[in-house]
Amino acid sequence: MNYTILIQEGPYNHTASDSAYNFIQAALEKGHEIRGIFFYNDGVLNSTKLMDPPQDDRHIQKRWTELGEKGIDIVICIAAAKRRGIAEENLAPGMRISGLGQLIEMGITSDRMVTFGS
């Protein structure tokens, strides 16, 4: 099966990012394909390379970067990013900024779209 993942919550104030990451890992282990990951609303906060969690905490942005290095398309909504101060210069490696049209294209070419957060 081919999935698109939509994440709408920030990295540390909700469990949506962790749940999405765990879902993606499980899907990949089962042989499914992740068509793309789209960050929207507060979800765009997952994309900043300025994130600096304490040493004993998980580094959520690095998790997303590692998935991007595996070839998964990770897209950040431009409008949501601009509202939250996310720009190309502080975007983590393996991620790119685009519009909602990209989310539509991902959804059309996937079997399922799974949303994390509201």
Write the CA distances from 99 to 32, 56, 60, 75, 93, integer angstroms.
Answer: 25, 35, 23, 9, 18
Catalytic: 56?
A: no
Q: Which of 77, 80, 81, 91 is catalytic?
A: 77
Report yes or no: 6 and 110 within 8 Å, Cβ to Cβ.
no
Distance CA 99, CA 76 (A): 8
Which alpha helices (H) appear in 10-114, and where do they start and end? 16-29, 60-69, 78-83, 100-108
Rounded to the nearest angstrom, the gap between the alpha carbon of residue 116 and the centroid of all alpha carbons in its chain is: 10
- Catalytic residue numbers? 77
